[in-house]
A and B are shown apart, each in its own frame.
Chain A
Amino acid sequence: MLRFYAASFAICVAFPALATDVKVILNPELTQTSLSHTEVRQIFSARQQYWSDGTKITVYVLGSNTPTHQVFCREILRIFPYQLERLWNQIIYSGQGDRPVTVDSEAEMIDAVARTPGAVGYAYRGVIHSGVQEVAIQ
């Protein structure tokens, strides 16, 4: 764990933009303007599958080996990527939810979130465009 915090600290010092610029994005039709850390974890670990208005949540992620996914897990979810896989397996194979949809690139992620009602994903701030909304995490 010490290595994790040391690595996170090093990333923050060396690449301040990198450490903070992965953002959670939502389909523009959703009315949420902020989410708590707990909600973000519940959604991306497939434990929360519907928004409060009953809209089905479709979660998009990048491949586990991509740098953006690794930064997202560590900086936003604050867990190791392999832990997220374990959480998915528990939910999927006990029949309690779906595995997030894996896309190949951030451009594909943004397009998918923009087009899919109830969708949520993440991307670096620099590539986010007006077709999706960025959400604050409290």
Chain B
Amino acid sequence: MKINKLIAVPFLVYTSMCLAESSFSWHGFIAQGVNQSIGSDFISEDDEISFDLTEIGLNMRYDINSSLAVVGQGVYLNGGNRYERGARLDYLFVDWHLPKLGHWDTHMHLGRFKSPHWLYSATRDVPQTRSTIVLPQSVYFDNFRDAALGSDGVLIQLSRPSEQGNLRLNWSYGNAPMSNYQTKALLGEFAQGKLEQDFVQQVSVYWQPPSLNWQVGASWLDSDFTYNAVTDDFLVDGGRSVQFYTLSAVYYSENWEFTTEFQRNTKQDYGGFSPSYFLEEHGEGGYGQFRYMFNNNVSVLVGYDYFVADRNDRDGKKLEERSQGVIPAYFGYMKTTTVGVQWEPLPQWRVQAEYHWVNGAGRLTSVPSPGNTPFTEEYWQMWAIQAMYRF
């Protein structure tokens, strides 16, 4: 990923203040697994059993003083076809702990900050914090992992812990660099130009009662993208405008927990395929996960995730008609049933395994794009086993 000026500024602050009273800490993780998608190119091709399930990360925090720190993480990822393989800088920002505003604790993150807006968005990059190896795609679309994980810009976090409950408010503004991989993943292999995210603005709020045994949250996202075509491009200039809303709830019991997150989105595409092309879709999705903990080391999970690209085309037939049969109707939705198991033999180790039964292909790629229909049957399956170590 390209590091822009917003990243460079925190680094200058960091280097100029290195000599002040400070502390340094670092952590990391290594995870390796084996996985397979059967009847789909989602993970691997030709039903191949693949070891493309590698995640290595190193993160650090440098406390310059009690109110200023520099925080960063670099990772190497290989998730098969799920996202771009290779190394990237996930985040690097200055964490400024602002003076208290009454009872409000306030942090400002400046640089490539990490999104806190969805339930798993701040921890989706760390294998041991995820409920499943492959997260519910209705909200955590792997194709868009890097852009959803963080942005270059500013994040303000306000929290108000009290005996009456905990309230958290987050606001962020920035943009994420789009790689060639992401451009082609969203627009098709034939796209020659450059996709840019003009801006992304997000707001979220979370509340926990004094018992902390449950949590509710809501978030809102607004973002614009621009596609700049080049000479001899199959596409023309275009863009996309997206609004994405979520509602979430988690309940923690002694031996079980239930997590749910629901999203609705509006998407307007213009240009791209032709100067007059315009498409507006109103999609939705969500998941529910139930985890039962047998003891401190072993738990099982069952979950259901669904996604529809357009609420006015739940069976995808309009999508198939619009593409004159090129894109099958089942690319308009995706419904996944998941079972999984987690085992923590030692405090820093975890082994996780899961199986997914999938109907549809709505989250394989960003349809509609006639040049972007990877092989997938209407009904397909995938499984994964991964061993993880954190330090």
Contact = CB atoms under 8 A, between A and B. Distances in A.
B is a partner of A: yes
B161 A89 contact: no
A49 B72 CA distance: 18
B23 interface: yes
A33 to B, nearest CB: 19
Contacts of B122: 90, 93-94
Interface residues of A, number: 35
A79 B61 CA distance: 27
Contact of B296 (A50, A65, A79): A65
A47 B159 CA distance: 10
A63 to B, nearest CB: 7
A3 B293 CA distance: 14
Interface in B318-336: none
A97 B213 CA distance: 23
A29 B374 CA distance: 64
A95 B71 CA distance: 6
A63 B344 CA distance: 13
A94 B114 contact: yes
Nearest to A102: B347
A79 B209 CA distance: 12
Contacts of B163: 36-38
B73 A95 contact: yes
A4 B213 CA distance: 11
B128 interface: yes
A95 B59 contact: yes
A41 B116 CA distance: 20
Contacts of B183: none
Contacts of B69: 95
B296 A82 contact: yes
A56 B114 contact: no
Given A83-B212, A95-B73, A95-B91, A50 B126 contact: no
A89 B254 contact: no
A56 B23 contact: yes
Interface in A101-128: 102
Given A56-B23, A63-B347, A80-B252, A50 B66 contact: yes
A91 to B, nearest CB: 9
Contacts of B116: 94
A38 B103 CA distance: 12
A42 B168 CA distance: 13
Chain B residues touching A, majority SS: strand
A64 interface: yes
B24 to A, nearest CB: 10
Contacts of A63: 347
Interface in B16-38: 23, 25, 27
Interface string B200-225: 00000000000111000000000000
A54 B99 CA distance: 12
A56 B66 contact: yes
B124 to A, nearest CB: 10
B125 interface: yes
Contact of B254 (A4, A42, A64, A96): A4
B212 A82 contact: no
30 contacts: A1-B213, A1-B254, A3-B253, A4-B253, A4-B254, A38-B161, A38-B163, A42-B161, A47-B105, A47-B159, A47-B161, A49-B63, A56-B23, A64-B347, A78-B212, A79-B252, A81-B296, A82-B293, A83-B212, A83-B252, A86-B129, A89-B123, A89-B129, A90-B122, A93-B59, A95-B93, A95-B95, A96-B107, A97-B61, A99-B27
Given A1-B211, A64-B296, A90-B122, 8 more contacts: A41-B161, A50-B66, A64-B347, A78-B211, A93-B59, A95-B93, A95-B95, A96-B107
